[in-house]
Structure 1
């Protein structure tokens, strides 16, 4: 499967190339949360998108019926389709085009506003659009309606792993005969209710300094920072792309796998490493073929240690360059895996690995060759992207440069 279009809405980077530039220059998209007064919360930081005005990109009729997360998804979809040259004259029938997306948080901001109306004014003031604007499948639905994409479609939920799961399912959909699938993940829950829900998980950093709050694989790691946004990709069969004269292919999705961790207390190891092994096997590759790993990078010591062990066990100590660029955006939930996938594709294109945010001191016990400080130029041909969701979800995607 080849990737022919990209669209990104992420902290520090609205648009694919803007997002990529922010990663390479180390621009920190994490700052004080400004959507509401968070002064009494134990954490007050977020990876927030500050330069997005929905009315600049979407028709007014869509604004009353969409949550902010759906607006990000619709705009990223528009950009990805344009990037891939998919329009009225592209030669597609509507049933040739499918949509597979992931969101784990749904329309938190929209629902919080409508619930406030319910409690303070009464049910007659609640928007009729509340019936679907909150739903985890709404991004798939709104994208398919806006772009007349009537082919096989789906919505997946796997928290941080869900975005990669959506992309894996999109590849299966193309293999089954759908010519092109729009896929990816987007999330946003930076309203009082959504933010409190994320804090309740106990994994959010309480460090007040945006430069030190989210430090994946660092000796001072203390949790992650929530973020918003995500990415959308266009996936299609290589023959189909060639037949319609696509001039630019970002890379190939060569392998995908998902696993689930065993029950706590079972004595069995986490299954992230197994997901990586299965994805490589599907791609017909070995660990020696991998040029770079884009890690999940939870920023929680126990979780970082477990991921480091999985990577070093598979590749050997310091056996492959590793990076976690989401340290500059926060964890985007279902949007995290797809934005990492975009970063990996652009890394393959430009032969450079973005650094891991502000991480500086990696424990020797991790045995990782983590890219820190500055981007690293390298000869790159294959990237492994990893993601983990709460309560045991693991996903892995293998990307390779396109070979015509």
Structure 2
């Protein structure tokens, strides 16, 4: 019999909340963390809004020796991991090293650290470039630093599939647990809000240029015109269900199903593959469409991407047949951190029996969705679907279910 994999711990650093309960209360209240960029002067850029994690003081959470060798993205990830482990009731020092692994997702890496070292190179000379530049910028650095800090020597790695990566990392974690590893730290955190990172994002041509935080990111709205990026995400503790129960752990839910596809080449005439990813996830979970209580949608924020997702959901579930929500309207799109944050929100929805709202959006009737807007919807949630897409044609879907 295939082992069940469950989530026992959540660690969240999000633009609208630092810590799981702060994030969740803000999200259910419709509180946004999107605003004008403060980490650098955005005046000369066409896009000037972002979701930024508030109140995060590195030195309050991490030893001083780590600060010179880490980018903001890694500091956020290390702290989120500490919180997730504490939430799960896990002390890594009490577990065998090779029974614990780390598999995270990344869309980029340490942008800000790399920018600083390049500035030192060109303005002062090579002797002023930090030796830590060799790894602090690297997209695998979060997995490495988490494993070192916590003595985790089991299966580890990083998944790079942009916005879909957080779900793909979770699937890799589930696979390793089914092979025998007891616990995997997984999820994703991003921190691309710096000039170098900003230029890279602007090159996609998909960022909103609105200066109104309440009007800049409008998935499934007729006025959708791009998305707002953000920093942060979620780290999750995935465990073998039997092992978690044997130690009396609180279980948020089971990772019941997963599906992933790649879209065909643009111009090929073939249909997008998002619907297939959802169908594969449902089949993997042995769940019918009628069993899904809510969909946490990807919410591209542009008409083409929104249309593809809405058509996929209608094809699988029927028109307006399942509640849909996009709480990332309050955080911005967090790249590899976005889907883990949505997954955490789905698990909290199961815990509390509430679907958080999609804020600021006036849903277009063209999309034929039951989009939860305005205020949270109180309802029993037992099974949820999380959908994520990444630039380059990546599609992923995960079904999470209340643990029996």
With normalisation by structure 2, the TM-score equals: 0.98
Q: Secondary structure of the residue that 2:324 maps to in structure 1?
A: strand
Measured after TM superposition, the shift of residue 16 of structure 1 is: 0.6
Does residue 379 (structure 1) correspond to residue 380 (structure 2)? The answer is yes
List, as ranges, runs of 4+ consecutive aligned residues in structure 1 with deviation greater than 4 Å.
none
Deviations along 1:43-75, one digit per CA (max 9) or x if unpaired, are 100001121001100000000000000001000
Deviations 1:208-256, CA, capped at 9 Å, x for gaps:
101100111111111100100110000111100111221x110110011
Conserved in 1, the CA contact under 8 Å of 2:13 and 2:19?
Answer: yes
Q: Which runs of 5+ in 1 are unaligned?
A: none
Distance between the aligned counterparts of 2:322 and 2:336, measured in 1? 26
Residue 58 (structure 1) aligned with residue 62 (structure 2): yes
What SS does the corresponding residue of 1:268 show, helix, strand or coil? coil
- Matched residues in 2 for 1:88 and 1:162: separation? 25
Change (3 A) 1:279 1:60: same
Cα deviation for residue 315 of structure 1 reads 0.3
Matched, 1:242 2:231: no
The 3-state SS of whatever aligns with 1:395 is strand
* 8 A Cα contact 2:166 2:337, kept in partner: yes
| 2:187–2:340 Cα contact (<8 Å) kept | yes
**Of the candidates 150, 153, 160, which is equivalent to residue 150 of structure 1?**
153
Alignment partner of 2:117 out of 114, 119, 143: 114
SS at match of 1:234: strand
Partner of 1:71 in structure 2?
Answer: 75
Cα distance in 2, alignment partners of residues 234 and 89 from structure 1: 16
Q: SS in structure 2 opposite 1:330?
A: coil
Query: Aligned pair in 2 of structure 1 residues 250, 86: CA closer, same or farther (>3 Å)?
Result: same
- Shift in Å at residue 200 of structure 1? 1.0
Compute the TM-score of the two structures, normalised by the length of structure 1: 0.98
Q: Distance in 1 between matches of 2:57 and 2:271?
A: 45
Matched, 1:87 2:91: yes
Return the match for 2:33 from 29, 36, 51: 29
- 1:105 equivalent to 2:108? Answer yes
Within 5 Å, which residues of 2 pair with 1:5-404?
Answer: 5-87=9-91, 90=94, 92-246=95-249, 248-360=250-362, 362-403=363-404
Structure 2 vs 1, CA of residues 384 and 55 (structure 1 numbering), >3 Å: closer, same or farther? same
3-state DSSP class of the match of 1:63?
A: helix
Count of residues in correspondence between the two structures: 400
- Distance across 2 between alignment mates of 1:198 and 1:177: 39
Whole-angstrom CA distance in 2 between matches of 1:242 and 1:371: 34
Secondary structure of the residue aligned to 2:153 is coil
Instruction: Quote the Cα distance in structure 2 between the aligned partners of 1:26 and 1:198.
Output: 26
Q: CA separation in 2, counterparts of 1:245 and 1:322?
A: 33
Name the Cα RMSD after superposition.
0.8
Cα deviation 1:5-48 (Å, max 9, x = unaligned): 00000101110111101101111100000111110111100001
Distance 1:101 1:88 in 2: 17
Partner Cα distance (1:9, 1:402) in 2: 25
- Matched-pair contact (CA < 8 Å) for 2:293–2:381: yes
**Structure 2 gap ranges (5+):** none
Structure 2 CA distance, aligned partners of 1:176 and 1:337?
24
Q: Is the 8 A contact 2:17 2:54 kept in 1?
A: no
